[in-house]
Structure 1
Amino acid sequence: MAQQHRKLLIIGSGPAGYTAAIYAARAMVEPLLVQGMQPGGQLTITTEVENWPSLIEIQGPELMVKMEEHARAMGAEIKFDTVNKLDLGVRPFRATCDSGDVITADAVILATGAQAKWLGLPSEEKFQGFGVSACATCDGFFYRGKQVVVIGGGNTAVEEALFLTNFASKVTLIHRRNELRAEKILQQRLMKNPKIECVWDSEVVEVLGEDTPLGVTGIKLRNLKTGAESVLDTSGVFVAIGHSPASELVKDQLELHDGGYVKVEPGSTRTSIPGVFAAGDLTDHIYRQAVTSAGMGCMAALDAERYLAEHHEAGMPAPDMAQIEPATA
């Protein structure tokens, strides 16, 4: 077990984490970034990315490799490990990793992201990125003139269905109940749209598709009242049953809102604990885009750099150096 101290610890390696590392390294803060269980975040399970400025098209995993390379080139240290315990009640803050390593830090940037909630079907997992998506804004463009389905009944599902009518020839909304949970104004827009059809009291039991090339061709539905099964042809399946922010590390330490998202001060990345900053999908339940996450990563690095500068001048509590080994590159 190794122990080390850093001015700044960044937890998470999606667009927010890597961008924070780039900016912090350029500010000579010498950040340490711990990647987590899924280095690169959600973009590593995405295929084509067509909305990243300056790149007409790039594969999601490739984009994240380039971000990691950029962060390393700027001087950030990147550690393949997972923080499984974070104590924000001590100064300096103390993180314990899955490897047993302990990192103390004067400031922390949380960029652990969020995960879409899935149906839990093996066939759904098989076609993720190949016809199954959890982001209409990200992937709707690929379904121009095609039929798609949206699964869910809340605001997100209705908004995704309405957005997809800009591209798809037909959108079918599938819901387990016979009425929606979405706001009334959204329901009215949905019902008035001639491209949208609703299938009530039904659940998806299997995603159907082909292997060569890998792609979705339809779904198998079960009516929850009658038990009858049917097949619906579709080229795309959009699962819109919510997201789960990865806030387990701080759920009892920081102020959260909207189902577990870390709350930050408006116009900043500052959390309810001074010296702790949050960026990306961990805080964002509205936009959830790679480019907005990257922007927040930049903000977090600038906020952290200012915090560190101010508090080092004032005399920041020093770690117990007898218990901490020097950091190694």
Structure 2
Amino acid sequence: MKTGKVIILGSGPAGCTAAIYAARAGLSPVIISGPVPGGQLTKTSAIENWPGEKSISGYDLMEKLMDHAKSLGTEFISDTIVSADFSGRPLVLRSENETYETQALIIATGAEPRWLGLPSEAKFMGNGVSACATCDGFFYRDQDTAVVGGGNTALSDALYLANLARQVYLIHRRDEFRAEKTLADRVQEKVKEGKITLVLNAEVKEILGNDLSGVSGIKAAFKDGTEKEIPVTGVFVAIGHLPNSSIFANLLETDHGIVKTGYGAYKTGTSVPGVFAAGDVQDPLYRQAITSAGTGCMAAQDAARYLKEAGIA
């Protein structure tokens, strides 16, 4: 049995920032890091919008944040919570091998990639289909690839692959991108250079290939009813993320998996007193490292105030 005043689930920007503020408030926070220490950001090759860092890899940024939290006394535990009980006090969390009790909980579990849901996508997962260009792009050097999506992640992936692959087909179901203008402008520059080809108003209907050599192409279906086969050896899916909140589905108020916050006097408070949420697990709109860090700061201060008002801290 492990106990603590404040337990933080997740070690991404939200979790680490929450730990830094909780530690400075004297709450001796414990971070349960989950399956990926540092979170999904560790898979990002270059971050150019973190204040004070003109360009830094996601891995290096998270190393800095985790080291900062550790230097203030935050305890990191490598474990994954599989169930929770919020019916009494203290709050109870359980992994496969351990039980944790805490007076205040900050959920900063982030989100996971959303997939297309095609049988052919599942068939070629890890054999030509990926959700992480920075992880797997190296394997497609001088080959033709496709990126599916129109947000920041999709355009960033396309730009990253454009420096490795022979050709990048950027497939988006609309005729305009949802990404930041700076990213869209960079993509247009690569289009002019002949490194990126835009395939707009189209969706991936099927991923083509065979068991022996993997992906050989995609079948794109356009809004006008036409279809086209595009030869590629790698398909990178970047159509959004699903919040890691399934274990809280029957415990907290959620909206399509997004943990709802703003209850009571706490901006990050959930529907259960003493439980707070920060980062992508409660943010379906901004989804930036810096906004995740900001809500982590807010959650730690809300938790500190909650514990003080409850006479615990």
Same fold per superposition (TM over 0.5): yes
Superposition map of 1:1-329 within 5 A? 3-98=1-96, 100-119=97-116, 120=122, 121-122=125-126, 123-125=128-130, 128-129=133-134, 130=137, 136-137=151-152, 140=155, 143=159, 149-151=169-171, 153=173, 158-160=177-179, 164-169=183-188, 198-200=200-202, 202-203=204-205, 205=207, 220-223=217-220, 229-231=229-231, 239-240=238-239, 242-257=240-255, 259-265=256-262, 268-312=267-311
Deviations along 1:101-149, one digit per CA (max 9) or x if unpaired, are: 21111110000001121345432328622485878436747849x7865
1:226 and 1:289 map into 2 onto residues whose CA distance is 36
| Contact 2:269-2:302 within 8 A present in 1 as well | yes
Deviations along 1:56-103, one digit per CA (max 9) or x if unpaired, are: 1111111111111110101111111111111111211001123x2211
2:21 and 2:129 map into 1 onto residues whose CA distance is 37
| Contact 1:256-1:263 within 8 A present in 2 as well | yes
Does the C-alpha gap of structure 1 residues 153 and 226 become closer, same or farther in structure 2, counting only changes over 3 Å? closer
Deviations along 1:188-236, one digit per CA (max 9) or x if unpaired, are: xxxxxxx9652546436269xxxxxxxxxx98321568886333799x9
1:71 and 1:43 map into 2 onto residues whose CA distance is 17
Amino acid at match of 1:231: P
Counterpart of 2:185 in 1: which secondary structure? coil
1:233 and 1:69 map into 2 onto residues whose CA distance is 39
TM-score (norm 2): 0.75
Counterpart of 1:221 in 2: which secondary structure? strand
Q: Displacement, 1:50?
A: 1.4
Per mean C-alpha deviation after superposition, the further-off stretch among 247-256 and 131-140 is: 131-140
Amino acid at match of 1:299: M
**Aligned residues: percent identity?**
36
Does the C-alpha gap of structure 1 residues 162 and 73 become closer, same or farther in structure 2, counting only changes over 3 Å? closer
Counterpart of 2:14 in 1: which secondary structure? helix
Does the C-alpha gap of structure 1 residues 149 and 165 become closer, same or farther in structure 2, counting only changes over 3 Å? farther
1:282 and 1:154 map into 2 onto residues whose CA distance is 26
1:117 and 1:127 map into 2 onto residues whose CA distance is 12
**Which ranges in structure 2 are unaligned for 5 or more consecutive residues?**
117-121, 138-144, 192-196, 210-214
2:8 and 2:114 map into 1 onto residues whose CA distance is 25
1:163 and 1:206 map into 2 onto residues whose CA distance is 33
Counterpart of 1:83 in 2: which secondary structure? coil
| Contact 2:171-2:203 within 8 A present in 1 as well | no
**Which ranges in structure 1 are unaligned for 5 or more consecutive residues?**
173-194, 208-217, 317-329
2:65 and 2:216 map into 1 onto residues whose CA distance is 36
Counterpart of 1:312 in 2: which secondary structure? coil
Amino acid at match of 2:278: A
Amino acid at match of 2:308: A
Does the C-alpha gap of structure 1 residues 306 and 29 become closer, same or farther in structure 2, counting only changes over 3 Å? same
1:290 and 1:133 map into 2 onto residues whose CA distance is 22
1:69 and 1:278 map into 2 onto residues whose CA distance is 22
2:205 and 2:290 map into 1 onto residues whose CA distance is 33
Match of 1:327 in 2: none
| Contact 1:11-1:35 within 8 A present in 2 as well | yes
Per mean C-alpha deviation after superposition, the further-off stretch among 197-206 and 218-227 is: 218-227
Amino acid at match of 1:83: I
TM-score (norm 1): 0.71
Size of the aligned set, in residue pairs, is 274
2:174 and 2:257 map into 1 onto residues whose CA distance is 17
| Contact 1:135-1:238 within 8 A present in 2 as well | no
Does the C-alpha gap of structure 1 residues 127 and 38 become closer, same or farther in structure 2, counting only changes over 3 Å? closer
